[in-house]
């Protein structure tokens, strides 16, 4: 059997679409992965044995080293994460956004950006106010509208030649943005539930989408709740990059940046730490030992 290397671009029901420079193969994975508790992920670079050149089938026999791995959503070797939140319908949720950013930081993704989508539903000053805490923290920020096309080209530029990941809750407009960035592969979009004002899930599996003219993006199922309760205070503080940069200047090594004296973090709130992000951090550490 012929061997080849490729990239997993889709996974559904134990079958994986593996792309090589010339073809895409439908592959199962060797049972040894399941026994070892290893699940192939989109973004994995893999070695496969081609079982049928005509039918384009094969078996994944090796998963090469990962630079990073996300558990929710499931993806590997991501160059950058773009957290997409809607300005309205559903309402902007800064607490949920900060949870997504915390997970992206923990995963070791080199570049993380914040995207305020549906920017046409609010005044420019309102959108700028929502993004300002994240600009202060050092994140790249984008204001986009899949309805008008505003900001989409800037987003396309930042995604060129990278494997990006769109993350964010259902209803934020991730799929609508991807339809603009990859018009050759339009995908189903969903509305907003009249009952609870939340987005309806439209993405049912993880898949890499080609971004025109270059780049890939992971379209993944949206999540409305993310659990980070197992993180310690010090771990959580480190994921707030603007807090982590300053924490070394605190008097106490185990400083919670809450009520301690001579806390460098507290001194910088309103300067290099946006008050809204500091309040978000305090809410997340509440009740932790």
Q: What pLDDT is attached to residue 227?
A: 66
How sure is the predictor about 251, in pLDDT bands with cuts at 50, 70 and 90?
very high
> Are 213 and 184 spatial neighbours (Cβ–Cβ below 8 Å)?
no
**Tokens standing for 74?**
């499931």
For the stretch 151-181, pLDDT in tens is 999 999 999 999 999 888 889 999 899 999 9
Non-local (6+) Cβ contacts of 156 within 8 A are 181, 211, 212
- Please give the average per-residue pLDDT across 104-132, as a whole number: 95
How sure is the predictor about 184, in pLDDT bands with cuts at 50, 70 and 90?
low
Residue extents of the structural domains in the chain = 2-65, 70-219, 233-285
Q: What pLDDT is attached to residue 275?
A: 97
Report, at the CATH architecture level, how domain 2-65 is classified: Beta Barrel (2.40)
Percent with pLDDT over 70 in the chain: 88
Report, at the CATH architecture level, how domain 70-219 is classified: 3-Layer(aba) Sandwich (3.40)
Residue 225 has pLDDT above 90, yes or no: no
How sure is the predictor about 13, in pLDDT bands with cuts at 50, 70 and 90?
confident
Residue 202 has pLDDT above 60, yes or no: no
Q: Does 221 or 286 have the greater pLDDT score?
A: 286
- Please give the average per-residue pLDDT across 236-246, as a whole number: 95
> Are 236 and 244 spatial neighbours (Cβ–Cβ below 8 Å)?
no
Q: Does domain 233-285 have CATH number 3.40.605.10?
A: no
Same fold, 70-219 and 233-285: no
């Amino acid at each position: 059997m012929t061997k080849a290397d490729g990239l997993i671009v889709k996974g559904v029901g134990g079958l994986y679409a593996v792309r090589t420079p010339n073809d895409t193969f439908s592959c199962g994975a060797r049972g040894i992965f399941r026994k070892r508790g290893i699940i192939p992920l989109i973004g994995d670079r893999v070695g496969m044995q081609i079982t049928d050149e005509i039918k384009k089938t094969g078996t994944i026999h090796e998963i090469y080293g990962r630079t990073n791995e996300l558990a929710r959503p499931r993806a590997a070797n991501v160059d950058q994460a773009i957290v997409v939140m809607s300005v309205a319908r559903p309402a902007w949720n800064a607490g949920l956004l900060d949870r997504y950013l915390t997970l992206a930081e923990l995963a070791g993704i080199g570049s993380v950006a914040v995207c305020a989508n549906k920017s046409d539903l609010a005044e420019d000053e309102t959108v700028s106010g929502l993004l300002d805490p994240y600009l202060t923290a050092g994140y790249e920020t984008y204001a986009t509208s899949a309805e008008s096309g505003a900001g989409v080209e800037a987003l396309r530029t930042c995604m060129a030649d990278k494997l990006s990941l769109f993350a964010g809750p259902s209803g934020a407009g991730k799929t609508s943005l991807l339809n603009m960035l990859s018009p050759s592969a339009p995908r189903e979009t969903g509305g907003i539930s009249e009952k609870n004002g939340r987005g309806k899930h439209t993405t049912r599996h993880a898949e890499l989408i080609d971004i025109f003219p270059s780049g890939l993006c992971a379209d993944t199922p949206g999540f409305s709740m993310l659990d980070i309760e197992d993180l310690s205070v010090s771990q959580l503080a480190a994921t707030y990059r603007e807090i982590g940069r300053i924490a070394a200047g605190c008097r106490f090594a185990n400083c919670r940046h809450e009520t301690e004296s001579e806390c460098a973090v507290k001194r910088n709130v309103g300067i290099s730490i946006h008050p809204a992000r500091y309040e978000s951090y305090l809410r997340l550490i509440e009740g932790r030992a």
